[in-house]
């Protein structure tokens, strides 16, 4: 059974930075695609960033491109989301997700493509 545990959320002022972590357990993740999604109150869950574990290739939502960086540490089975230049619009619960597949393109941006999810971590950006 795959388990994903997020950490690193919190309250930060606009312009600040946070680093989210997603610790994965249950198996080796070389064949997985891992992603970060977020959900603000009253809104649908939206794609933030994705990384293909084997190749390390990444994609980002336009809203975070140039500010957020997704990465993985194979030794620690952990995926990170470095968030810089945070804005109040980034306020949301951030979720880590995983699927046993190397996904590319629009498929990798859909929440329905992932079958493992963490519990979420709250990020609040004050103005």
**What torsion, rounded to 10 degrees, do the Cα atoms 18, 89, 40, 110 define?**
-80
Instruction: Give per-residue pLDDT as tens, 9-37.
Output: 999 999 999 999 999 988 778 889 999 99
Residue 73, strand partner residues? 78
Average pLDDT of the segment spanning 58-78 = 96
Q: What is the pLDDT of residue 26?
A: 80
3-state secondary structure of 90: helix
Characterize the bridge pairing of strands 78-83 and 68-73.
antiparallel
CB-count burial class (<10 Å; 0-12, 13-18, 19+) for 21: middle
**Eight-class DSSP state of 52:** E
pLDDT averaged over every residue in the chain: 95
């Amino acid at each position: 059974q795959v388990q994903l545990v997020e950490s690193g959320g919190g309250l930060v002022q606009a312009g600040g930075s946070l680093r989210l972590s997603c610790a994965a357990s249950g198996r080796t993740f070389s064949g997985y695609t891992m992603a970060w999604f977020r959900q603000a109150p009253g809104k649908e869950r939206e794609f933030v960033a994705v990384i293909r574990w084997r190749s390390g290739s990444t994609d980002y939502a336009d809203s975070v491109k140039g500010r957020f960086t997704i990465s993985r540490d194979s030794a620690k089975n952990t995926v990170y989301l470095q968030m810089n230049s945070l804005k109040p619009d980034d306020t949301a619960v951030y979720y880590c997700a995983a699927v046993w597949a190397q996904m590319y393109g629009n498929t990798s941006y859909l929440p329905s493509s992932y079958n493992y999810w963490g519990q979420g971590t709250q990020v609040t950006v004050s103005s």
